[in-house]
Structure 1
Amino acid sequence: MQITSVGGSYDSSAEVLTANVTVKNLMQEAIGTPDGTMTAPNGIRVFFSTGPTVQTGAGSVSVANPDGYAFFTAADQPYFTYSEILDKNEVSAAKTWQFDVPTTVGTFTFTLLVQTEVQYLLVINEVLTNPGGAISDVNGEWFEIYNAGTLGVDLQGLVIADSAASGRRPYHVIASSINVPSGGYAVLGAVVDTVINGGADVDYAYGSALALANSVDALKISRVYGTDTLTLDRVSYLNAAVSAQNGISRELKNPALDNANMDGSNWADASATAVYGAAGRGTPRAQNSAYVP
């Protein structure tokens, strides 16, 4: 985050310092939103972690017009709210900040921190719907999630589901902590036992909660938000001959691409040289063999 004053003035008779302050988002993720679309109820809150503290001169300085006071890192810290969604490198509208500053004060300092909702940039990056060979679908299915964001994400508490011809199955809540660092991967599969799942290094087992059809299906990961769920990413496929080949995963060519259609040109089969376990083709928890910069 970058906090910038874009102009200011001092009224010596009223002893009030005025500054027009903007917030710039330097992260990959959008801020002020849980999903990139919905504005977070509390917006983007810039709060005073310390200060204002007088460094030279005499007297005390205080924030004159905060939007409120709340507990962030301590009690009764003043804050300003920016009720916006800011994408990467986007700058907010300017907001007027005022400080009560006696003329006897020379300089003062403060420390600002930001509290806000951050969009999770999780991408369904690779999917094996049909393990094939001696590995059953019940044991061998898996999919990979890539974190395209700046911040690490813990998957615990997020929900996953698939939707076959009969409709969407109930959401499964990810029950254990799975930390996915920026630029990192996590593999979710039916079982973690590499002896029976074909050799995939699975970080989390969802058991029978998902069952990826070898025909038509969709897969999604969502965030629980209040009493609702917000979709973070979703992929689907209609062509079994393309997306449910025996023992071959489908790989997204680049995590920045639109990944909604697994049958489409943004996806490709795992390379014949990308072998994991005994005979499976795919790159679980690694850069895809089909990756194109």
Structure 2
Amino acid sequence: MAFCKINIRDPFLLLLLAAQFSCADSESAPEIDDTKINFEFQDGFETDNDDFQELFPSDNSRWTTTQIISPNAAQNSLDISMVQASGGNQSLHIQSRKSDGILSKADIEKGGFTAPENSTVIIEADFYIDSDTNIENLFLIDLECCSCWDPSVAADPSIDGDNKCPGVRLVMSGGNDYLSIERGKIAGSTLAQITFPFPRKEWVTVRWQMQLSPNDNGTNQLFINGQQALSETAMNLPNAEIFKQVFAENGINFELQEPVAYERVQIGATANPNAEDLEIYVDNFSMSITND
């Protein structure tokens, strides 16, 4: 299966435009007033006895669920590891096998929050990619809205249903390992950078900060090890009128469900279309939402 195969029933891919490259500077990550934060979540993946199930307590105070879609030839896995750790003694360990006829995915998910228009979202995590192979099109973080999908419109079964959760994602682009912001699932082009290649076989801190907007005034910032790799003003929340127009071009009546707000985040190998197996560690995850 080709990862970027265009399907007329998948209108987001029809609008995926050429990447827009931005000039990076040396600005450090800005601070947010703690008194204005109304959602905050942190997890260092520490457990007793390496028990992965401790990440999913009944009170939902930690993670919500996992997504593991294995290719035909091998099994993906998630577990707790002490082999690598950025903080504390443990980290999330991801074995993502290469895709074949099935798109390989292995990630952990947090839900139960609301990130609407004008809110500021900050997602930060440490990654250790234990590989020197080409990782172009590897997705690491997805921020999505599933409740905003029109329930009368079926998902495209050839895309495994994920297009029913519009959102923005972090992806490797630029030929191999330049982390960028992908907007194909909200009918936008990728906000790309080719200044800061992603280091391998060492811990890398990623900070993704946005002020959400369905229009062109949304702010999008990406920091790698404290250095600003990308800063662009662009749409980063689903736009009802754009969705209506895109689907209408394919003869489909689509009504984006409002109010539109992101409600789940996934981290790991959220999609690994590559022809190589990957081993990834994640640590020190945090997310905050500030609604001004």
Q: TM-score range by the shorter chain?
A: under 0.3
Q: Which has the higher contact order (CA 8 A, sep 6+)?
A: 2
Structure number with bigger Rg: 1
Q: Give the structure with the higher percent helix.
A: 2
TM-score w.r.t. length of structure 2: 0.26
